[in-house]
Structure 1
């Protein structure tokens, strides 16, 4: 600040005469004291009349491992304590979460609502100026564990403790609901996946069952066809054998008639038949050659031929035909196919589904009480502050007194400067009565 005031100079130097300056300030001490008192009064009035501003804070730390054990042991959702703390911190910092709490508790924020502003605009001012999230500095290792600090500044008349504690509970509740929703979706997806595996197992079972039934049916059809073919071949064979036998009989009958063999005989007896009058004898004939058929006599042979001509079926002559008939009758109905088709609960026959059923039963009976799930540990809750952070009354009054002192000194110096300037102008003005005296005074002023 420049001024035309000139303090008395020491004749031996160009420096300001501090003694003269101090005398000048001492002469105007009342004015300085008055300015100091006025500034102190204004500062005191501001300190006592300004709306006090308070600050509350709360500190969150990771929850104990046992608090999340039920969730982590479910093998569905894994949430370490550190990650849970970060998720809650992200929720506390979320604009949407803060706005939701602001809307749900409008009575607590009445002091922040201004006429002519929307609810969102009032919240924007509160969110920008009043609440702050503090995280530990990763470069500093002075903290023994991770933490999240939430602090809030609020004016007098606002229940800041309820707002901060309520907001933390609200954010934890929102995150708990989100975890519950995520858990529900994961369990539902896993159940759908297990259901798809069960459907695949049922489809595989149905395919195997149908393939087995088709295989058994095909095997039965093939076996019946083979048995029928064998039966047909056997009957044809038996018929051929009967016809061959009849041809042999016809031939033997003709030979027997030509030899006159009516009754069964032997070659030796045929040779003795020409001897007459001989006594009857008993002969034993040992011969390792087959006796020709015509020795049976044409009567026996004709009887056999007649029987063969009257025969309508040759089936009784072959035991295999009865066996084939038995097998064909057994093939009329496949009991294994009937049992497969008569199964009522086919799920018990599914293979490899025991782990699926076990996991499905475990997931359906999974019961985690999310309301008791403790995501974070509240290390320090917000408490009613003992004193405001603004204004600091001693600091404000002290600053006012110092400012008053500076203003008083400046005012005194400025007043003295004006007085000296007025005296210089009066000395330079010419006087008609004593021009010589005025000139001398002007010269003296110039020297000064």
Structure 2
């Protein structure tokens, strides 16, 4: 029974304490309100004195296919739109590109310069904290095409929009120049390779021509030598035959003289003459399969033939082959094919399988390497001047300060309340 009464008394005492506490808050409302006002004043002063910080952004997307069609159709440099976007993104993320842009546009970064810190050091801080490259999340499917987003956080002392748009154009121009330089190198390498192939074709042609001339000359030389050998052998043969004929004639003349045959005769005629029969009206025809001996020609005919043979100085006219050999030797004195090969002026006209090489040289020579108007990317959204700063968040800071001041005032009031209770209890 006493325990229950004690619990009721304790509960009644707690309620009274809460009421006293709230009553104490009311009595100390000036303290609480003052704390809130002070905290709010500090927050308002901070947001008024704090330097505003803005954020600008630009979005890049792949260029249209027709922008890169001429470059890709050149068959020298392949650059799909997405790869072009990645190249520009790499340039935007490159420290070297950012530093080059800073060095070329230092007037835009002058407000960043502070005492004790060089402009380059200020740029290091700015580059580390202010520029942010955002790539699409590959797990997300809400974007129909790839993109690159570049964000710039900057104080109000600099023109961040001009810096961001200028930097994007600078990165795109630098990539255009790089592609143009790469294209020139590739074209020059291709032209050098084609020139080496054409030079090799010329060397091969000259070697082939010299080999052909040497082969024709050698063939003619061999043919001339053979014909001269044949002519010499033929003349020796004709001379031998003439000498043999003279020997035969000498023998036949000796036989004919011993037989008393002066004029040409036949064995039958000689038989009739020996028998003593003669008739001016008698005609005799002889048919025999044997050749009559030479001495039947009589000494007059044989001696005349021998005299002619002894006076002969050349036997060439006795054989048609001699004149044929002479004609062939005359033809071989000048080889017209060798002569025309040696008189060729523009040898490139006779090179084989180099027309495709020449066509490729002409095509590469006509390719344009000026990439100043090449559309690498499409600027989907340029950076624009933001309407409100991202820092400081004035409403949030003031509201948070008021809440914090209220809590601080309530805390001070509570502490004073318990302090007075302890004093009264004592």
Q: Which TM-score applies when normalising by structure 1?
A: 0.89
State the shift of 1:275 in Å. Answer: 5.7
When residues 10 and 162 of structure 1 are mapped into structure 2, their CA distance, relative to the original with a 3 A threshold, is farther
Equivalent position of 2:4 in the other structure: none
The Cα of 1:24 is off from its aligned counterpart by 1.4
The whole-number CA distance in structure 2 between the counterparts of 1:219 and 1:114 is: 93
CA contact (8 A) 2:130 2:154 kept: yes
1:431 is aligned to: none
In the TM superposition, 1:288-437 aligns within 5 A as 288=288, 289-367=290-368, 369-418=370-419, 423=423
Which of 6, 10, 20 is equivalent to 1:12?
10
The 5 Å alignment of 1:35-434 reads 35-274=35-274, 278-288=278-288, 289-367=290-368, 369-418=370-419, 423=423
Where 1:273 maps in the other structure, the secondary structure is helix
Q: Which runs of 5+ in 2 are unaligned?
A: 1-6
Superposed CA deviations along residues 178-214 of structure 1, whole A, max 9, x for unmatched, are: 1111111111111111112111211221121111111
How far did residue 396 of structure 1 move? 1.3
Question: 3-state SS of the aligned residue for 1:206?
Answer: helix
How much does 1:404 deviate? Answer: 1.1
- Secondary structure (helix, strand or coil) at the match of 1:59 reads strand
Q: Counterparts of 1:420 and 1:279 in 2: how far apart (Å)?
A: 204
Q: What does residue 437 of structure 1 align with? A: none
Deviates more, 1:294-303 or 1:172-181: 294-303
- TM-score, normalising length: structure 2: 0.93
Displacement of 1:150 after TM fit? 0.4
Q: Which runs of 4+ in 1 moved over 6 A?
A: none
Q: Distance in 1 between matches of 2:246 and 2:275?
A: 34
Equivalent-residue separation in structure 2 for 1:154 and 1:379 (angstroms): 22
Distance 1:346 1:265 in 2: 75
CA contact (8 A) 2:272 2:278 kept: no
- Asked if the contact 2:112–2:119 (Cα under 8 Å) also holds between the matched residues in 1, the reply is no
SS in 2 for 1:283: coil
Decide whether aligned partners of structure 1 residues 147 and 279 sit closer, same or farther in structure 2, where only a CA change above 3 A counts: closer
Instruction: Describe the shift of the 1:147–1:267 C-alpha distance in structure 2 as closer, same or farther (beyond 3 A).
Output: same
Provide the alpha-carbon RMSD of the alignment. 1.9
Q: Distance in 1 between matches of 2:391 and 2:44?
A: 13
Measure how far apart 1:309 and its partner are: 1.7
Q: Which residue of 2 aligns with 1:31?
A: 31
Residues 1:281 and 1:269: Cα distance change in structure 2 (over 3 Å):
farther
Change (3 A) 1:277 1:214: closer
Cα drift, residue 323 of structure 1: 0.8
Q: Deviations over 1:295-331 (max 9, x none)?
A: 1111221121122122221111111111111111111
Stretch deviating more after TM superposition (360-369 or 143-152): 360-369
- The alignment partner of 1:280 has SS state of coil
Q: Residue 132 of structure 1 contacts residue 152 of structure 1 at CA under 8 Å; is this kept in 2?
A: yes
Structure 1 residues 134 and 278: CA distance shift in structure 2, 3 A: closer
Report the Cα offset of residue 368 of structure 1.
Answer: 5.2
Q: Take 1:322 and 1:196, find their aligned partners in 2: how far apart are those partners?
A: 53
CA contact (8 A) 1:249 1:301 kept: yes
1:320 match: secondary structure: helix
| Distance in 2 between residues matched to 1:325 and 1:116, nearest whole Å | 108
State the shift of 1:419 in Å. Answer: 5.0
SS in 2 for 1:371: coil
